[in-house]
Amino acid sequence: MPKGSESRSSHCDTHRSSRQSPVHGVRYGPRLAADTGGANGCHPNGTAHSAEGAADARQRQPVSDRGCCRLLSVGLRERGCLWVRGEGPPLVLLSGQANNHHWWDGVRDDFHAARSTLSLDYRGTGESDKPDRAYSTELFAQDVIAVLDDLGADRADVYGTSMGGRVAQQLAARHPHRVRALVLGCTSPGGQHAVERDNDVRRSLVQPQPGAARQALLELMYTPAWLATHPGPYRTLGDPDMPAHARRRHLAAGNQHDAWRLLPGVSAPTLVVHGSDDLLNPAANAPLLANRIPGARLHMIPGARHAYFEEFRTLASPLVLDFLTTEPQR
């Protein structure tokens, strides 16, 4: 991926006209359409290319369901990769720690009846730049603002899971006018008020035997019944191509998150969703968030573990979409 550009560059074609929400009358920004390679300037493998290749790209066939990587500035020196799918008011999907946009591959189509979906490869993951410097959930939230600015979107709905939920907290609390509705999944407020995973879980994730830690993570993400019928590939176990320094930076960003004092300032309608059997990010964090955010709603999914959004998608996705399309605006 090209690095070092300080100018904002667009490699996907978006429609800049504003769109009024049919439900709330909110100006979301552009109506997005980025599934085709000929119009959006994507390579057939889904990665963006230089402006010089745009003419050739227009001759290509539509890209597969990977969508389009749109490169844009997310700092003075870094560029991030934005993946845009579907049409309609934007829904920002925020992935878990050390994961790229593929985290959402199994469920993002569930939202396209009413929303376009935007997913950013965090710094250090996917097609985005991977600087070896401090990351934080606040920094990742600033990157989301850069995405919305680039697209000309005044506001967006935001759905963050795991560390993505922590990023979403920062986004909604520090930039309340940019978030129309908020969904926080399998996440926590961080800091001293959060309920941390127990030591047995921690030890299971650092086992030295080959494959043992990966298996432990799988069992924290999914139920045995799901694993027995879904042999993979799995999209939620981390970006396999991340450099070691980026993994360390992501781990630090998640561990240092503390939004407790910010949460009462969240003004967007908020839904908190969590699996009742989540041990990776203990389920006790869900009521903490719901009680701390004014007017937040809480929904626990019985029997679900950390990746409730994928394993229990037939319940979770309609729940989230119904909330986004019917919750009255504050």
Domain membership of residue 286 (yes or no) is yes
Domain membership of residue 112 (yes or no) is yes
Say what the pLDDT of residue 261 is: 97
> pLDDT per residue over 216-227, tens digit each?
999 999 999 999
Domain membership of residue 5 (yes or no) is no
Structural domains in the chain (count) = 1
Pairing mode, if any, of strands 156-161 and 90-94?
A: parallel
Highest mean pLDDT among 73-82, 124-133, 147-156, 314-323: 314-323
Domain membership of residue 163 (yes or no) is yes
pLDDT higher than 90, residue 78: no
The parent domain of residue 61 ranges over 18-326
pLDDT higher than 60, residue 24: no
Helix (H) or strand (E) holding 271: strand 270-275
15-52 burial code (b ≥16 CB/10 A, e <16): eeeebebeebebebbbbbbbbbbebbbbbeebbbbeee
Contact by Cβ (8 Å): 156, 118: yes
pLDDT higher than 70, residue 31: no
316 φ, ψ (degrees, to nearest 5): -70, -45
pTM assigned to the model: 0.82
From 2-16, 58-72, 282-296, the region with the lowest mean pLDDT = 2-16
Cis status of the peptide bond prior to 233, with omega within 30 of 0: yes
Give the model's confidence band at 135: pLDDT under 50 very low, under 70 low, under 90 confident, else very high: very high
Domain membership of residue 251 (yes or no) is yes
Annotate 28-55 with DSSP letters as a single string. Answer: EEEPP----HHHHTB-TTS-B--GGGHH
> pLDDT per residue over 268-287, tens digit each?
999 999 999 999 999 999 99
Give the model's confidence band at 97: pLDDT under 50 very low, under 70 low, under 90 confident, else very high: very high
- What CATH code is carried by the domain that includes residue 104? 3.40.50.1820
Q: What angle do CA 153, 125, 31 make, to 5 degrees?
A: 20
Domain membership of residue 231 (yes or no) is yes
Domain membership of residue 79 (yes or no) is yes
> pLDDT per residue over 180-204, tens digit each?
999 999 999 999 999 999 999 999 9
